[in-house]
């Protein structure tokens, strides 16, 4: 009998992640503009106002495994949401750039706590036999939020007092999430806590980072670093190539491809292992980046968006499945946090570093190099995980046949 996936807990955590992703991207695409209009800062400072959120999120992810082990997932989730509500409310009282930067980093910290906790809950409550499928469906909540958030943000910027509406929407969303969690009364299975020894009380990197999740997380950082060059400079690239209207379709097409493919790729991972998804995804990502680098027409932008949606979008969920697959149940929070910390590093460092590269070599050459990164990651994946995954699949098939 197939184990149940769509439980009350799974639906609630996916809904919370969906709403918070909308709010994250709503502010991410508008905060630089807010900083310029409100405080008349230069472009680099405005970019810092937008991206420093990622640093706060990274700090939250770093601590969440330890906090979950001590206080429990539901408690960390609710307290993190309460913190997000309070910080969102403080946007109304920012009186300078320094205050705004502090608010952004604190807001990122709370969202880092909450998003990592919801991801950990998803991993814990998903049946082992449907782990890839469950993570794929859960990840769709973020994909939808990625598509809807920027759209709402751009609509609100055209309204009178639009930024105030954004801050109010953040406050209301946090309250709704807390209300839903309390009403649903989600129940999580008990996880045996590891014994605490005297040695364990001393500081240890393993308290914050799961070493088994590091290899695949580094690979995800590398791919994410390359993909951040698309997400951060989409508009500028469109203006330079004369395809500004075409690039406006990019994330819509990208999101549709992820939405349509994730349910199938998740089931494939469960049935035949991650390799059957990862190798094609890396090739598609590399192809998409190359087509993007050579784009001279709308159809090329659309093809690039399809390839990167199928490639990067599905590699993301496959890599997360790998990161938590072998984790000890008591360290699911740490493994999940490790994975997302590396993603944050890739997306946080990418725009800053690649901005200097673009000034030196231009957009097209940069995207060609990013395409090569996707190809280089193929043999690296085989070495760190693919070979072992292939052997495990052959062994499963042999046991099933005999």
Distances (CA, A) of 260 to 131, 299, 314, 330: 18, 20, 11, 33
Q: For 189, which DSSP code?
A: -
Q: Smallest Cα–Cα separation from 88: which of 164, 12, 182?
A: 164
pLDDT for the residue 167: 93
pLDDT for the residue 3: 67
Bin 202: left if φ > 0, else alpha if -120 < ψ < 50, else beta. Answer: beta
Residue 5 scores a pLDDT above 60: yes
More confident residue, 155 or 264: 264
User: pLDDT by residue (tens digit) across 23-58?
Assistant: 887 887 778 778 888 888 876 677 678 778 888 888
Q: Smallest Cα–Cα separation from 274: which of 323, 211, 215?
A: 323
Q: First CA to last CA across the chain, in angstroms?
A: 22
Find the mean pLDDT for residues 379-399.
77
Bin 185: left if φ > 0, else alpha if -120 < ψ < 50, else beta. Answer: left
Q: Are 69 and 56 in contact (CB under 8 A)?
A: no
Distances (CA, A) of 310 to 163, 184, 283: 34, 34, 10
User: pLDDT by residue (tens digit) across 175-194?
Assistant: 999 999 989 887 776 555 55
Q: Strand, coil or helix: what is 42? A: coil
Every domain of the chain and the residues it spans: 7-187, 209-402
Domains 7-187 and 209-402 share a fold: yes
CATH code, residues 209-402: 1.20.1250.20
Residues contacting 327, CB < 8 A, separation 6+: 210, 212, 213, 334, 335
pLDDT for the residue 280: 94
Range 7-187 classified under CATH 1.20.1250.20: yes
User: pLDDT by residue (tens digit) across 365-387?
Assistant: 989 999 998 899 999 999 998 88
């Amino acid at each position: 009998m197939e184990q149940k996936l769509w439980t009350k807990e799974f639906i609630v955590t996916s809904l919370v992640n969906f709403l918070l992703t909308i709010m994250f991207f709503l502010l991410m695409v508008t905060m630089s503009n807010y900083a310029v209009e409100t405080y008349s800062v230069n472009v680099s400072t405005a970019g810092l106002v937008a991206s420093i959120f990622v640093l706060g999120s990274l700090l939250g992810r770093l601590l969440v495994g330890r906090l979950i082990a001590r206080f429990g997932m539901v408690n960390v989730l609710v307290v993190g949401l309460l913190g997000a509500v309070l910080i969102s409310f403080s946007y109304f009282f920012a009186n300078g750039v320094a205050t705004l930067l502090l608010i952004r980093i604190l807001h990122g910290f709370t969202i880092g706590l909450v998003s990592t906790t919801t991801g950990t809950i998803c991993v814990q409550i998903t049946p082992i036999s449907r782990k890839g499928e469950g993570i794929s469906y859960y990840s769709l909540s973020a994909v939808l939020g990625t598509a809807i958030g920027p759209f709402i943000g751009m609509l609100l910027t055209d309204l009178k007092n639009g930024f105030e509406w954004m801050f109010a929407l953040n406050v209301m969303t946090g309250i709704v999430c807390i209300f839903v969690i309390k009403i649903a009364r989600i129940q999580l299975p008990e996880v045996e806590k590891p014994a605490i020894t005297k040695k364990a009380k001393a500081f240890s990197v393993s308290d914050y980072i799961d070493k088994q999740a590091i290899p695949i997380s580094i690979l995800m950082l590398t791919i994410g670093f390359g993909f951040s060059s698309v997400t951060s400079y989409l508009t500028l690239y469109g203006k330079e190539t004369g395809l500004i209207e075409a690039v406006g379709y990019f994330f819509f097409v990208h999101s549709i491809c992820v939405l349509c493919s994730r349910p199938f790729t998740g089931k494939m991972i469960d049935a035949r292992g991650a390799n059957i998804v990862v190798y094609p995804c890396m090739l598609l990502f590399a192809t998409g980046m190359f087509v993007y680098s050579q784009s001279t027409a709308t159809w090329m932008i659309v093809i690039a968006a399809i390839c990167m949606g199928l490639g990067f979008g599905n590699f993301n969920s496959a890599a997360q499945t790998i990161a938590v697959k072998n984790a000890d149940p008591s360290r699911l929070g740490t493994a999940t946090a490790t994975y997302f910390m590396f993603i944050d590093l890739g997306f946080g460092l990418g725009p800053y570093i690649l901005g200097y590269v673009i000034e030196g070599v231009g957009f097209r050459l940069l995207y060609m190099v990013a395409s090569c990164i996707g190809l280089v990651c193929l043999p690296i994946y085989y070495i760190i995980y693919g070979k072992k995954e292939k052997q495990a699949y052959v062994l499963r098939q042999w046991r099933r046949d005999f």
